[in-house]
Amino acid sequence: MSTALYAITLIKVYFQDTGVDTSVQTNPSRRDNRQSLIDATIASIVEIGLIRTSVSEIIARAGVSRGMIHLHFQGKENLIVAAAEAAADDYYDTLKAHLVKARPEGQFQIEAMILCDLGPTGLTEEKTRIWHELRGAVRAYPALHIFSDTRDRFLQNMTVDSFSDIFRQTGCPEGAEQARDMSIAILTMMEGMWSDFMLHPENFDRARAAQIVFRVLASVLPGYFDLNGARDYTR
Amino acid sequence: MSTALYAITLIKVYFQDTGVDTSVQTNPSRRDNRQSLIDATIASIVEIGLIRTSVSEIIARAGVSRGMIHLHFQGKENLIVAAAEAAADDYYDTLKAHLVKARPEGQFQIEAMILCDLGPTGLTEEKTRIWHELRGAVRAYPALHIFSDTRDRFLQNMTVDSFSDIFRQTGCPEGAEQARDMSIAILTMMEGMWSDFMLHPENFDRARAAQIVFRVLASVLPGYFDLNGARDYTR
DNA sequence: CATAAAAATGGACGATCGTCCATTTTTACC
DNA sequence: GGTAAAAATGGACGATCGTCCATTTTTATG
């Protein structure tokens, strides 16, 4: 099985058990205004926050009339959920592109995930803001819960499998447990890096963030990771 | 200098340059309703989120009349800020109590911070929710920015100093840089742990979370940390 | 107890919220 | 090009938002 094919299969497996329908059931003629509303909603959330994102604000940005939200989404809440779905798709598309390009061995998949999540395509002000806003609004819009859950589960499956791949080679007897622990360690670090970036994007040093993550990885698994992992990131 | 005194001095130093006035300028007779409003605001944010926390909701919970918010806080925004200040004070009080009790050497201060941030007193559903909600609302209420900044700066100063203390002993030539990197590594992990806990408090395993953090620490600084650090946590 | 200050009440206010619908415009098809 | 369906408009609607203030109640002080 070729490298690319293996990675694609891997991704599909991760997505299978997420339970989220990522398909869009709109016909082309409807897509213009519908998509404009989603785009405007995301832009508004990013710019002024979900609290201040009102129906009036959204339709003004989208340049459509008041009734469009009711026609396409039957209400504001469904529009917010659709915007969350679009943001999640955006995240996965970027990540998938990185994973498919990387070699299938665990260490390279992990490396690709980190470099994606800290690189200029995966880690942007827009993405961190929309993600944080939507996560914070889970309480107000329970339907949003599935999106953060899905992302967490996807990343966890991906990293646990990758680390298991590595620990299997090391012959470590507690490999399964170690893989789960390392997965949590790395994912929590990435989570924290996203917070740091969102709060202080101007001071955030991507290369240093990557270096820190790889230093931890190199400490625990010196044969599989080293500080050169962070080097790739500037490419 | 005794252990306790040293720790107290350390804390005061960290707090000096935060620029936040933690004093409350209310006389006792005013404190009842004023405090009720703050408590009700925090409870409402925790329970139904900041978006749904309206003036009507707050006064109903506090059991006071409509005019109280205007009398004591001149508006809703100041009340939100006061609630954020109270939540921040609460966080610092818990952390201070842990740091003062710990020995002053770097490794023990770090250990105390971790065990506090993952223990049942420092990591609660209420604290993670209020913290996340307020951080997410920085865009809507810019005055909130100072509280998350202050916490971040405090924790960073504390951990950088502690790691510097350790790296000074190891005689590592790049000790200063390593201390800053390790500080970021650990704090981002703690940040991620808080997110995990908030999203899935029922599945969160405090002992395992602590073990993961200490495993990383033990890998990088084997002479100063080991998995027994997490053991203390159940006490 | 009288009296002035402070605290507290609760309704009125205009603004804005999200929803909904009567109407108009556009599209698709015979 | 006539016609029916679909898309889009924009204002009306009641509800709720946060603010403010005339009024009442409580507290403090002589």
Number of other residues whose CB lies within 10 A of the CB of residue A208:
15
Scanning residues 104 through 163 of protein chain B, those with a beta carbon under 7 Å from any atom of strand D turn out to be none
Question: Could you give the CA distance from residue A134 to residue A59 in angstroms, rounded to a whole number?
Answer: 20
- B162 and chain A in contact, CB less than 8 A: no
Q: What confidence category does residue A114 fall into, taking pLDDT thresholds of 50, 70 and 90?
A: very high
Q: Is B64 helix (H, G, I), strand (E, B) or coil?
A: coil
Number of other residues whose CB lies within 10 A of the CB of residue B232:
15
Q: What is the mean pLDDT of residues B187-212?
A: 95
User: The whole model's pTM is what?
Assistant: 0.86
Residues A162-185 have pLDDT tens digits of 999 999 999 989 899 999 999 999
Number of other residues whose CB lies within 10 A of the CB of residue A74:
10
- The nearest alpha carbon in chain B to A138 belongs to B49
Is B189's CB within 8 Å of A187's CB? no
At residue A26, the pLDDT reads 34
Environment class of B206 (CB within 10 Å of its CB; exposed 0-12, middle 13-18, buried 19+): middle
Q: What is the mean pLDDT of residues B6-32?
A: 43
Give the helix ranges, DSSP H, for chain B: 3-16, 28-48, 55-62, 68-73, 76-101, 106-118, 125-136, 145-170, 175-199, 206-220, 228-231
At residue A169, the pLDDT reads 93
Structure tokens at B83: 């609630």
B223: nearest Cα among B118, B107, B99? B107
Residue A122 pLDDT > 70, yes or no? Answer: yes
Give residues with Cβ within 8 angstroms of A111, minimum separation 6: A102, A225, A229, A232
- B149 and chain A in contact, CB less than 8 A: yes
Backbone angles phi, psi at B66, to 5 degrees: -60, -35
Provide the positions of strand C that have an atom within 7 A of a protein CB: 6-12, 16-22, 27-28
At residue B176, the pLDDT reads 93
Q: What is the mean pLDDT of residues A222-231?
A: 83
- Minimum-distance CB partner of A188 among B139, B149, B193: B193
How big is the CA angle at A199 (ends B98 and B200), to the nearest 5 degrees?
60
Q: What is the mean pLDDT of residues B164-191?
A: 94
Q: Is A1 helix (H, G, I), strand (E, B) or coil?
A: coil
At residue A233, the pLDDT reads 59
Q: Are A5 and A100 in contact (CB under 8 A)?
A: no
- B71 and chain A in contact, CB less than 8 A: no
At residue A232, the pLDDT reads 60
Q: What confidence category does residue A69 fall into, taking pLDDT thresholds of 50, 70 and 90?
A: very high
- The nearest alpha carbon in chain A to B146 belongs to A199
Is A212's CB within 8 Å of B139's CB? no
Q: What is the mean pLDDT of residues B75-82?
A: 97
Q: Is any atom of strand D within 7 angstroms of residue A52's beta carbon?
A: no
* Å between B142 CA and nearest CA of chain A: 11
Number of other residues whose CB lies within 10 A of the CB of residue B175:
17
Chain pair A-B, CB pairs under 8 angstroms: 117
At residue A138, the pLDDT reads 86
Q: Which protein residue has its CA closest to C1' of C11?
A: B66
Q: What is the percent of chain A where pLDDT is above 90?
A: 74
Question: Could you give the CA distance from residue A95 to residue A70 in angstroms, rounded to a whole number?
Answer: 33
Using a CB-CB cut-off of 8 Å, the residues of chain A touching B218 are none
Question: Could you give the CA distance from residue B103 to residue B169 in angstroms, rounded to a whole number?
Answer: 16
Q: What confidence category does residue A229 fall into, taking pLDDT thresholds of 50, 70 and 90?
A: confident
* Å between B2 CA and nearest CA of chain A: 34
* Measured torsion, CA atoms of residues B14, B16, B20, B25, in degrees rounded to the nearest 10: 120
At residue A137, the pLDDT reads 86
Residue B170 pLDDT > 50, yes or no? Answer: yes
A165: nearest Cα among A83, A119, A110? A110
- B211 and chain A in contact, CB less than 8 A: yes
Give the helix ranges, DSSP H, for chain A: 3-16, 28-48, 55-62, 68-73, 76-101, 106-118, 125-136, 145-170, 175-199, 206-220
Question: Could you give the CA distance from residue A115 to residue B184 in angstroms, rounded to a whole number?
Answer: 17
Using a CB-CB cut-off of 8 Å, the residues of chain B touching A216 are 185, 216, 219-220
Token pair 């990383």 is at which residue? Answer: B216
Q: What confidence category does residue B5 fall into, taking pLDDT thresholds of 50, 70 and 90?
A: very low
Q: What is the mean pLDDT of residues B198-213?
A: 94
At residue B14, the pLDDT reads 57
Is A191's CB within 8 Å of B192's CB? yes
Residue B1 pLDDT > 50, yes or no? Answer: no
Question: Could you give the CA distance from residue A7 to residue A113 in angstroms, rounded to a whole number?
Answer: 12
At residue A166, the pLDDT reads 96
Q: Are B190 and B205 in contact (CB under 8 A)?
A: no
Using a CB-CB cut-off of 8 Å, the residues of chain B touching A187 are 192
Q: What is the percent of chain B where pLDDT is above 90?
A: 74
Which of A139-143, B99-103, B176-180 has the lowest average pLDDT?
A139-143
* Å between B35 CA and nearest CA of chain A: 25
In whole angstroms, how far apart are CA B114 and each of A221, B118, B216?
23, 6, 13
Whole-number mean pLDDT of chain A?
A: 86
Number of other residues whose CB lies within 10 A of the CB of residue B34:
22
* Å between A56 CA and nearest CA of chain B: 17
Residue A118 pLDDT > 80, yes or no? Answer: yes
At residue B193, the pLDDT reads 97
Give residues with Cβ within 8 angstroms of A31, minimum separation 6: none
At residue B46, the pLDDT reads 95
Q: Are B10 and B99 in contact (CB under 8 A)?
A: yes
Q: What is the mean pLDDT of residues A87-104?
A: 95
Q: What confidence category does residue A228 fall into, taking pLDDT thresholds of 50, 70 and 90?
A: confident
Q: Which amino acid is at A39?
A: D
B45: nearest Cα among A139, A51, A132? A139
Q: Which protein residue has its CA closest to C1' of C26?
A: A29
Q: Is any atom of strand D within 7 angstroms of residue B49's beta carbon?
A: no
